[in-house]
Structure 1
Amino acid sequence: MFDPSKLQMLENRLVKVFKHLRKTARRQNITCYRVYDDDIPEFPFSIELYEDHVYVAEYKRQHGMEEEAHEEWLDLCLEVIAKVLEVPVDKIYVKQRQRKANRQEQYEKLSFESHEMIVQEAGLKFKVNLSDYLDTGLFLDHRITRGMVRDVVAGKNVLNLFCYTGSFSVYAAAGGATQVTSVDLSKTYLAWAEENMRINGFDVNKHKFVHADVLQYLDTLPVESFDLVVLDPPTFSNSKRMKEILDIQRDHVTILNKVLAATKPGGVIYFSNNYRRFVLDADHILASDIKDITAQTIPFDFQQKLIRKCYKITR
């Protein structure tokens, strides 16, 4: 059974972290950030602020509560979250998710109600959906990595593989990339990527949006054609629409070497993945330089909590 007195633990924790995070966010002019991530075992949530709305993901676990008791517990938790974050309860959106260390479940629609809104990040606009999918459409943990890409792409040809909703593509266009090619297996997310480009005022006809299985698409790439590639694949995927099963630990060398072949000499790949036990097989990757940039790409709101890896790989 749940002990209501434990709610004070949640409140105390939230008060402490939110005070600190809000200051940093204001100083950096950031309006979308993570506030809490499974900090206390009894409250297995991820809590993210999207301007004046809150997105709460409850990690599924054996909690031993009847459904009614669980609903009551959740309502009490939401009241605490609303109070500390100074947001009305009706602006909080809740999702339940399996505890997984990857993004393979991103292609799953959860509901048919819809709460979409436009949020800002680094002077750019992004559509997020707080109600319908397991992810909102904007991975907050790659905020710094996106900025790194924007800083170096002026006049360059950019490829964004497994592009999801195209946030890296938007940053690349904002950085003055000549052309951005965004590739994804999901037509829904590809259309979303196009919409994100459009709401930022970019001419979508200047850029390419390719609906394809990335693993097959790699074999069609012309050699030495891209200056910069973003590669952020799921850890594992066995989508019915894919010809092959993707296992990033097993397949990363093959994938990276195909991408390197399509990259110009001196060109760069930003490669990240969310597999907790991922080990890069650097000896078999045909690159001139590989840097682990995980530490410098972790934003202030993900310190000590982030499980993803990030590499800068130069052809």
Structure 2
Amino acid sequence: PIECTLATFQIYSEQEKEDIREEIKAKKDFRPALSPGAEMFANRLKKNLKRLKKWAKKNRITSYRIYDADMPEYSAAIDHYEGQWINLQEYMPPKTVDPGQAGKHLDEMIKGLTAVLDIPRRNIHVKTRKQQPGLAQYEKIAHTGERHKIREGGNIFLINLTDYLDTGIFLDQRLIREIFGQLAETKRVLNLFAYTGTATVYAARGGAGATTTVDNSNTYLDWAKENMRLNGFSGQQHSFIKADCLSWLENAELEYDLILLDPPTFSNSKGMKRTLDIQRDHVELIWKTIKLLAPGGTLLFSTNFRKFRMDMEKLPELNVEDISGQTIPPDFERNRKIHYCWKIRRRREHPSLS
């Protein structure tokens, strides 16, 4: 016997095909009505996007913040990556907001995002942001290993939207990375507390003669190596050091023409001999770093501690220029305390420091 399959087909006229296509489109385009709260959030989102999209397109920026706790009852920071993914970091609600309403507000934000951006729910990644002890913000919260590529400043970076509170790149530091890259040509460059090495990539792109990337995490140091390889940078001139930066600075001997120092606000992570408190320790940390700076060199010092105060009286031999205002991009203008940044050089009248 011959094995056979019986198949039946329905033949549609051209008009019937068109009717079916319209019906499918209508179902796809159908969206349930938004609640008043979701509608209010969606309107604020539209207002922000109207302003930001022109700027982003003009500057070829494809990942940026689109909402930053604009309304206290919708307390979250929302970043839009490559027009495809959303990272929604929900803050602990202020005391003026009923805790029982927090879940409702989160749901309204998600519905507003899907309505305005036409992004599927699975591409919206939600995390809760609260004060973290030590380096808890860098620890794993999931184990998917799923990463995506994003573009910035002619570079390609890997991000992970699921496994950590942070994604692998701090978007607010976009202009700091750009300045670092612009200063790097032919320079011997050092990136301390380097995280995933995005600033190192900028330096290499800017023509750095050599780069050294130091971080205390094998995970992030490997990530930094991948970011460099992804952009075509390899070779012995690019070194990566797994070390506690405080201890490493005690014994480092090489000179560098350009250094980026971007420490955490507080750290008591494994492998450190002592805790780091950036307000308490910043003068000591700056001096230890300055000792590695070649004559005529530049140190960029950055911190995201919002209550930070630079102790200028203990740095009289240094030329300390506050460039924070130049490093806050338009998508973070609502909160100009998102970070601070200084350009630091030796004063010429103190040759003993050269």
Shorter-chain TM range is over 0.9
User: Shift of residue 295 of structure 1?
Assistant: 0.2
Aligned AA (1:212) = A
Contact 2:266 2:275 in 1 (8 A): yes
Higher alpha-carbon Rg: 2
User: Shift of residue 122 of structure 1?
Assistant: 1.0
Alignment correspondent of 1:265: 295
Q: Closer, same or farther in 2 for the Cα pair 1:286/1:219, shift >3 Å?
A: farther
Bigger drift between 140-149 and 158-167 goes to 140-149
Aligned AA (2:141) = L
Alignment correspondent of 1:133: 164
C-alpha distance in 1 between matches for 2:341 and 2:218: 26
Which of 219, 228, 234 does residue 250 from structure 2 map onto? 219
Q: Closer, same or farther in 2 for the Cα pair 1:280/1:250, shift >3 Å?
A: same
Q: Closer, same or farther in 2 for the Cα pair 1:105/1:169, shift >3 Å?
A: same
User: Shift of residue 280 of structure 1?
Assistant: 0.7
1:47-86 matches, cutoff 5 A: 47-51=78-82, 52-61=84-93, 63-65=98-100, 70=103, 73-86=105-118
> RMSD across aligned C-alpha pairs, in angstroms?
2.0
Instruction: State the aligned residue count.
Output: 308
1:209-240: CA deviations, max 9, x gaps? Answer: 110011100111116x0000000100111113
C-alpha distance in 1 between matches for 2:158 and 2:235: 16
Which of 273, 279, 292 does residue 249 from structure 1 map onto? 279
Gaps of 5+ in 2: 1-34, 347-354
Q: Closer, same or farther in 2 for the Cα pair 1:104/1:285, shift >3 Å?
A: farther
TM-score, structure 1 length as denominator? 0.92
For the pair 1:151 / 2:189, whether they are aligned, the reply is no
For the pair 1:30 / 2:30, whether they are aligned, the reply is no
Which of 187, 211, 227 does residue 180 from structure 1 map onto? 211
Contact 1:198 1:204 in 2 (8 A): no
C-alpha distance in 2 between matches for 1:204 and 1:94: 38
User: Shift of residue 113 of structure 1?
Assistant: 2.2
TM-score, structure 2 length as denominator? 0.83
Contact 1:197 1:204 in 2 (8 A): no
Alignment correspondent of 1:119: 150
Which of 299, 303, 314 does residue 329 from structure 2 map onto? 299
- Higher relative contact order, chain-length normalized (CA < 8 Å, sep 6+): 1
